[in-house]
Structure 1
Amino acid sequence: MDPTKKLKKEIVAHGQLPWEMIEEILSRVCPKSLVRFRSVCKRWKAILDDKPFIYNHKETFRFILATKSKIYSLSLDIPGLEAQKPKKLVSCGEFMICSMGKGAAVCNPWLKQSTWINSEPSLNFYGICHRDSNNRSEESVYKTVWGKGREWKIHDLASGTWIDIRSKSSDSNQGEKKYAMHSTSGVFLNGTLFWIAFDETAFLYCLLSDFSTEGFYIYCELPCGRSHPSDVLVFNAFKGDRLSVLKQCHTTKKIEIWVTENKVEKGAGVVWINFMTFSIPNFPGLVTSYLLKPSYFIDSNERLVLCSCDETGKAWIYVMGGNKLIRKVHLDSVVDPWPLHCTYFPSLVPVPRSQRDVAESEV
């Protein structure tokens, strides 16, 4: 039996409040308090780590948009968060990263926590990855990935140290190829950081983060390459342990969603299946650039929820299902044109702190 369902039955059986009432109460508790509740006992940790619970929390949001003066957290009814506009927004795993040019802030906007990383101005932030601890005495290891041309570096959040990494391939001739990165941000999933890249075809380029053999590898070819330079190609996580790819054809405006059939694991074969197709009359072309791409997620009702700017820079939310457009919302509250945006799924994982930050807080 599912552990969460079992726990619900136990709570009711012991004469406590009905589970639905407990869940309703907890869904109104601020996220910072929920973090403390996770340490009360194993039962409460299981409840609060349950993704459906976080989905149903009153402060859950899935899109982040940044303008010149604010960062908005958005579920169409959530007030904005005050912040300075970053040069790039990246959602990766439990955290969102706000890149500012001379460094980046690793944030958990749900908990309103952040830590700062100083970097060379020429380096661009690409993602964050981590290795879970094996026991309670060890902490999870978090590392950020930075790049400039063919130069790549990894920064250890705890120690503040930097190391260089190189591309690797089982084919020695592949090392001479020049791959074009399709995006400035990666997707972290099951210990690996993925990007879309191109040579003659489209494929996933990945960084294996077991930290003993750090390096870049070709993971697999994508099921839907670009037939036109203006085709839209974006990818994201799917159901927590799989990958998804969104493609919009520049000519027909048709949208396809492909997902991996099985859990993404190191060394395992990859099978892609066509999950959704939308051929909606008069649907707009999704404006895309190297820095500003559409962001999307697939909700619990298996609907596609998409955020994109139109040709004038206005931000829109599209909700689609059953090969039709269900809802289209113009974000009137986002005044500035061309806001940065990304998909973010809230978590109760605290932002990792460097040893220096911990030492300063104890003084």
Structure 2
Amino acid sequence: MTQRKNVPWEMIEEILSRVPPKALVRFRAVSKQWNALFDDKAFMNNHKMTFRFILVTKRKIYSVSIDPVVVVRELPLGTPGLRSYPLKFESLVDCNDLLLCRKERGAVVWNPWLGQSRWIGSNVTDSHMEFDGIVCDNKKYKMVVFSYTYDYSDEIWTTYDFSLDVWIDYNSTTSHGSENDVSVETAVSLNGTLYWVCFSNKTDPLCYDISKFNFSSEELENFCNLPCGRNHDADALVLRVFREDRFSLLKQCIVTKKIDIWVTKDKINSEDGSNVGWMNYMSFSSPNLPALVETVRFSQPSYFIEGKRLAVCSCDNNGQAWIYLLEDDKLISKTCLDDVVSRWPLHCTFVPSLVQVPARDERKKLVQLQV
């Protein structure tokens, strides 16, 4: 009788790192150990098919992986919401496990690693909509949207429940736009809560903080202060999630080109931001640093941090996309993507995940309609 030998766990991990992502979803049921592995961000980052940036042009979508070299691949468009020509994406929002792609009359919720997407049609026709992000509360996914008329006379916060396929409106006392006292920039999702970088339009210099929307009081509330703000209109200032439970902030001065990376010292407690402290995690001041905000469209860079290395995607003043890698106060490499990617692409980071695009629960929907 042949004796069965156990395969070393390291070998199993190596094999699974080569398995296509769609198959990994089915393998979750194999064992608790396998299921835990697929939730490990280190495993996802080491997967042979992983990537860290998404770029979208008028007609094509690309993924960009970094290690060991920069590799650009064209992604297929054979999923709902991604088939139209031109694509007409107006913005990309990294919601950690999923991407939110705003279009003229709605948005596409997308996991590009699994090749899954879902089209969500807009519930308004005469207002501009900002699709800010996706939150997960008790395993229930909701999309948060801010809509307003172009004269800012009517402003509404809205959530969309993926399982029930319903919209819920909230009155707004705080604006997204520049016509009012407070301006709100792109949000980040952390532990089921959305946070925005906000600044007052009536202070000089501008006062920057992180705020979150309280859906009980229907108000945007201050959560914590930022360690710095912009000194010039063209400064880069981008908030991201750091190590899954903290904030990171990238700032670059358009004049000196110096780049500072700030991170929060402790894990973020969504209930209380009064004790949030920041530390300068990395600084880059070498003379050959690129300008991360071009002065044509003033689009902000995308970035992620691995250890003491910073990876950035941004466009130059000609609209060419670049990938920059920085470490030890040096620009260690720069790669122009112009040979593959056409000019002025939208871009964002993406952390590979096995989170499936939330579907509508037909049973709950039927009960709701009957009531």
Q: Report TM bin, short chain.
A: 0.7 to 0.9
1:236-275 Cα distance to aligned partner (Å, 9 max, x none): 0000000011001121110100001001112142101111
Cα offset for 1:78? 4.8
Cα deviations by residue, 1:295-315 (Å, 9 ceiling, x for unpaired): 00001x320100010110000
SS in 1 for 2:10: helix
Q: 1:77 aligns with which of 71, 76, 100?
A: 71
1:88-107 alignment runs, 5 A limit: 88-107=91-110
Corresponding residue of 2:254: 250
Residue type at the aligned position of 2:328: G
Q: How has the CA–CA distance of structure 1 residues 274 and 286 changed in structure 2, closer, same or farther, with 3 Å as cutoff?
A: same
Q: Contact (CA 8 Å) 1:144, 1:156: kept in 2 or not? A: no
Partner of 1:116: 119
Deviation readout 1:24-45 (Å, 9 max, x if unpaired)? 1101111111011112221210
Mean Cα displacement is larger for which, 90-99 or 330-339?
330-339
Pairwise CA distance, 1:213: 6.1
- Alignment size in residue pairs: 330
Higher mean C-alpha deviation, range 55-64 or range 190-199: 190-199
> In 2 relative to 1, CA 282–97 (structure 1 residues): closer, same or farther, beyond 3 Å?
same
> How far apart are the structure 2 equivalents of 1:59 and 1:358?
36
User: C-alpha offsets along residues 298-352 of structure 1, whole Å, 9 cap, x if unaligned?
Assistant: 01x3201000101100000110011001111111344421100001101001110
Mapping for residues 81-230 of structure 1, pairs under 5 Å: 81-83=75-77, 84-119=87-122, 120-121=124-125, 122-133=128-139, 140-148=140-148, 149=152, 150-166=155-171, 178-181=181-184, 183=185, 185-199=186-200, 200=203, 201-208=207-214, 215-230=219-234
Structure 1 residue 297 and structure 2 residue 304: aligned? yes
Distance in 2 of aligned mates of 1:29 and 1:340? 29
CA shift in 2, pair 1:357/1:259, >3 Å: farther
8 Å CA contact 1:28–1:57 kept in 2: the answer is yes
Q: Structure 1 residues 358 and 99, CA, compared in 2 at 3 Å: closer, same or farther?
A: farther
Instruction: Spell out, residue by residue over 1:159-191, the C-alpha distance to the aligned partner (whole angstroms, 9 max, x if none).
Output: 12222234579xxxxxxx72012x3x3100022
Secondary structure at 1:349 match in 2 = coil
Gaps of 5+ in 2: 78-86, 175-179, 367-371
The CA distance in 2 between the partners of 1:298 and 1:245, in whole Å, is 11
Tell whether 2:347 aligns with 1:341: yes
Deviation for aligned residue 1:64: 0.3
Deviation at 1:145, TM superposition (A): 2.6
Supply the distance in 2 between the matched residues of 1:31 and 1:292 (Cα, whole angstroms). Answer: 31
Return the offset for 1:132.
2.6
Distance 1:357 1:67 in 2: 38
The answer to which structure has the higher helix fraction is: 1
User: Structure 2: which amino acid aligns with 1:112?
Assistant: G
Is the contact made by 2:88 and 2:104 (CA closer than 8 Å) also made in structure 1? no
Quick check: 321-330 or 226-235, which moved more? 226-235
SS in 2 for 1:45: helix
TM-superposed deviation, 1:124: 2.1
Amino acid at match of 1:317: I
Amino acid at match of 1:328: K
* Equivalent position of 2:177 in the other structure: none
**Structure 1 residue runs of 4+, over 6 Å off?**
357-360
Gaps of 5+ in 1: 1-13, 134-139, 170-176
RMSD between aligned residues = 2.5
TM-score (norm 2): 0.82
Q: Verify the 8 A CA contact 1:69 1:82 in the aligned structure 2.
A: no
Alignment match, 2:56: 66
Task: State TM-score, norm by structure 1.
Answer: 0.84
Tell me if the contact between 1:166 and 1:216 (Cα under 8 Å) persists in the aligned partners. no
Counterpart-to-counterpart distance in 2, 1:198 and 1:235: 13
Identity %: 47
Kept in 2: contact 1:127–1:144 (CA 8 A): yes
Deviation, structure 1 residue 141? 3.5
Equivalent position of 1:52 in the other structure: 42
CA shift in 2, pair 1:159/1:79, >3 Å: same
Please state whether the residue corresponding to 1:43 is helix, strand or coil.
helix
Secondary structure at the aligned position of 1:111 is classed as coil
Distance 1:312 1:356 in 2: 48
